[in-house]
Amino acid sequence: MKKSKLYMSSIALLCVMCGVLLPSALVAQDAEKKELSPEAVAQKMQSFYDTTADFQASFKQVYTDLAAGESKKSYGKVYIKKPGKMRWDYYKESKGKQKPEKAMVSDGKVFWVYEYEFKQVFKECLASSKLPTSVTFLMGEGNLLESFDVSFEKSSSEAKPVIKLVPKKPTSQYKELHFVVDGKTFQVLKTTIFDPYGNTNEIVFSKVKFDQNLPDKGFSFKPPKDARLLNPQKECP
């Protein structure tokens, strides 16, 4: 797989996850006590999405390559702001100190990936990229129940519902999504993304904050002068 496609696949999956995640902690505390159907949980997530302006959290990520039998652990911080702005800052430990490893940034028009160690940059114009339709959740559009078939996983419980989302229109980028949800607040605790090859991308969130009026400047990116652009192209509109 070409590097550009790999990066776009990665960000598409993160967009899907965050687009659904944003509203999840905003469900009313006085929700009905009766057991909810998976469709009802999904509907609540959809209904409250538009009331959230921004989101930030710490995250731990584990990507498992089934064929290689290997797993890669990562951690960092994520910031999301509507419409379409997001930033994922990855860090690593080096000689007992935390150093930046990778930044994935979008201002809503351009998507950048910068790898600090290799000083290389990937750039994509979002207007011309072919992201899955479900990514439009991040832009405040789309309908969860129209895009996915929703069901409960066997491990689901009233305290921690686990919902499974399968895209109604097959995509080469992911096969299904699993969300572990807090049964009282409806905040998403963990999400796992399964690709068509059986690989998984698991992300656990902590220290979540909503509606902090995140500044737009945090979603802008200017490549360092010594950085190598992997895919030179015209300016994005």
For 201-225, the pLDDT digits (tens) are: 999 999 989 889 999 999 999 999 9
CATH (one of 2.170.150.70, 2.60.40.10, 3.40.50.720, 2.50.20.10) for 3-229? 2.50.20.10
Place of tokens 């572990």: 180
How confident is the model over 16-63, as pLDDT tens digits? 555 555 544 444 444 444 678 999 987 776 666 567 788 899 999 999
| pLDDT on residue 26 | 45
How many C-alpha atoms does 41 have within 13 Å on its Cβ side? 32
Q: Which stretch of 6-15, 33-42, 115-124 has the lowest confidence by average pLDDT? A: 6-15
Query: Do 7 and 127 touch, CB atoms closer than 8 A?
Result: no
Percent of the chain having pLDDT more than 90? 40
- Cα(44)–Cα(144) distance, rounded to whole angstroms? 10
pLDDT at residue 10 greater than cutoff 70? no
Residues in CB range of 220: below 8 A, 6 or more apart: 105, 107
How confident is the model over 150-168, as pLDDT tens digits? 999 999 988 888 999 999 9
| pLDDT on residue 185 | 76
| Confidence category of residue 68, pLDDT binned at 50, 70, 90 | very high
How confident is the model over 175-195, as pLDDT tens digits? 998 988 887 777 788 888 899
Q: ∠ CA 167-179-220 to the nearest 5 degrees?
A: 85
Q: Taking the CB of residue 58, how many other CB atoms lie within 10 A of it? A: 13
- Is the bond leading into 83 cis (omega within 30 degrees of zero)? yes
Q: Global pTM?
A: 0.82
* Average confidence (pLDDT) over 167-172: 87
